[in-house]
Structure 1
Amino acid sequence: MGKTTRDIARTAVRAQLAPIAVELFLREGFDNVTVTELAEATGVSRSTFLRYFGNKEEAVLTLLDNQGEQVAQALRSRPADESDWAALRRAVDVLFEPYHDDPVEALALTRLVMDTPALRSKRSERFHGWRPLLAEAMATRTGAGPDVPMGLSVKAAAALDCMEIAIERWTASDGELDLVALLDEAFAALDPR
């Protein structure tokens, strides 16, 4: 089912407000910013802000809204003769363009999420929600049919954990370690070859 005009408008408004909220969180600290201050900074009423986001965490994590589907789409487009594991590793690359484009900003945003327990927990929930998307994409890619084999779900979960561990290491190194190399190392640790 496609998105309605209302869904598209909601997504557009969220996309306009979220960067302003994130900038304020980065400058002032997540716990130091109130919803009222977010509303003022974004130029909307408090109730309007809450209608679009529901809470402060959503204002940050809305940046992840389409990422699971982006990885799934990248996975579906991988060559059919490529192993599931190699396809998963290459598919997650779509998430790391911001790390290449502006590593300083990417590190600041990642650190904000990692250092804020509520954000970290919600981000982990989002990642967990991507598992079925990735497993279904692999099943589609390999022609496994409508029933997703358990092995594909396990591979998707493991890939997401590899990604999270690489991001944690990169953040802990203050961005000094190469994130792509960390991803490669994490995926290599479970490579079935």
Structure 2
Amino acid sequence: MSTHPEVSLAQRKRQLVSDELTGAALHLLARKGFDAVTVDEIASVAGVSKRTFFRYFASKEDVVIQFLAEMGTNMRAELAGRPAREPLSLALRHTVRVSVDACAGHTEQALRIVQLILGTPALLARFLERQAQWRDELAEELAARLELDPRAGLYAQLAAGIALSAFSTVLQRWSTSGGAEDPTALTDQVFAMIAPALDAVAKSASQERVEGFTAPE
């Protein structure tokens, strides 16, 4: 008989425990602040032992980093699924809005988590580190979209960097406003400003690609 159902059950159980720990940690961190929460407290609220916590996470910081990692994965997946002929600025606006809307959808707790990340030096450093990784991942997708050599994807790196700068700006404004400003509306506003630059990058990349194909040896 196949053992796949047993593996799937084990995976579901592991995911359930991970979700419980993540939920407990983010709730406590958002409510009390990063330094005021201990691993013991997180484990207690989640109903597991401290040893169990460390089977899933190396530290309480890693719980937040996982939250960030999922944001990057979702953005890359969204960009990969956008229509091929869609203007670059529109494709990237939808890409960024995936994570912005996810934050906005959880309202108060998500706002506190964003404020926690931006206001805690250790977490902010990891956030910036993640953004560098996201830039490279989005640039890979953009290079494929623009039919560019990934090894020389100057245009793709530039476009990904511009989009992620917009993302950071939206989160910062939303955070400092205490949630008073609508992050989705902010995203649309920011992308309206940078759309000409993004579409100019796409146009330049297209021209270089054509010239590269037609230039005499």
| Bucket of the pairwise TM-score, normalised by the shorter protein | 0.7 to 0.9
Which whole-Å CA distance do the structure 2 matches of 1:135 and 1:12 have between them?
A: 33
Match of 1:38 in 2: 42
2:74 equivalent to 1:67: no
* Distance verdict in 2 for CA 1:129–1:8, change over 3 Å: farther
Letter in 1 for 2:134: W
Matches within 5 A, 1:83-162: 83-144=87-148, 146-147=150-151, 149-162=153-166
Matches within 5 A, 1:48-59: 48-59=52-63
Which whole-Å CA distance do the structure 1 matches of 2:186 and 2:176 have between them?
A: 12
Q: Secondary structure, in 3 states, of the residue corresponding to 1:31?
A: coil
* Distance verdict in 2 for CA 1:126–1:13, change over 3 Å: farther
* Distance verdict in 2 for CA 1:151–1:7, change over 3 Å: farther
Q: How far apart are residue 66 of structure 1 and its match? A: 2.4
Q: How far apart are residue 36 of structure 1 and its match? A: 2.2
Q: Is the 8 A contact 1:77 1:141 kept in 2?
A: no
In the superposition, the TM-score normalised over structure 1's length comes to 0.84
Select which of 17, 20, 24 maps to 2:28.
Answer: 24
Match of 1:173 in 2: 177
Letter in 2 for 1:182: L
Q: Secondary structure, in 3 states, of the residue corresponding to 1:175?
A: coil
Number of aligned positions between the proteins = 190
Moved more, 48-57 or 100-109: 100-109
RMSD, aligned CA: 2.5
Q: Secondary structure, in 3 states, of the residue corresponding to 2:144?
A: helix
- 1:110-155: CA deviations, max 9, x gaps? 1222222222221221122111111111122333355451110111
Q: Extract unaligned runs of 5+ from structure 2.
A: 1-6, 200-217
Q: How far apart are residue 187 of structure 1 and its match? A: 2.7
* Distance verdict in 2 for CA 1:34–1:104, change over 3 Å: closer
Q: Is the 8 A contact 1:36 1:46 kept in 2?
A: yes
Q: Is the 8 A contact 1:80 1:142 kept in 2?
A: no
After the TM superposition, which segments of 4 or more aligned residues of structure 1 sit over 6 Å from their partners? 4-9
Percent of pairs with identical residues: 35
Q: Is the 8 A contact 2:104 2:111 kept in 1?
A: no
**Computing the radius of gyration over CA atoms, which structure comes out larger, 1 or 2?**
2
Match of 1:186 in 2: 190
Q: Secondary structure, in 3 states, of the residue corresponding to 1:66?
A: helix
Q: Is the 8 A contact 2:97 2:187 kept in 1?
A: no
Q: Secondary structure, in 3 states, of the residue corresponding to 2:35?
A: helix
* Distance verdict in 2 for CA 1:89–1:154, change over 3 Å: same
Q: Secondary structure, in 3 states, of the residue corresponding to 1:152?
A: helix
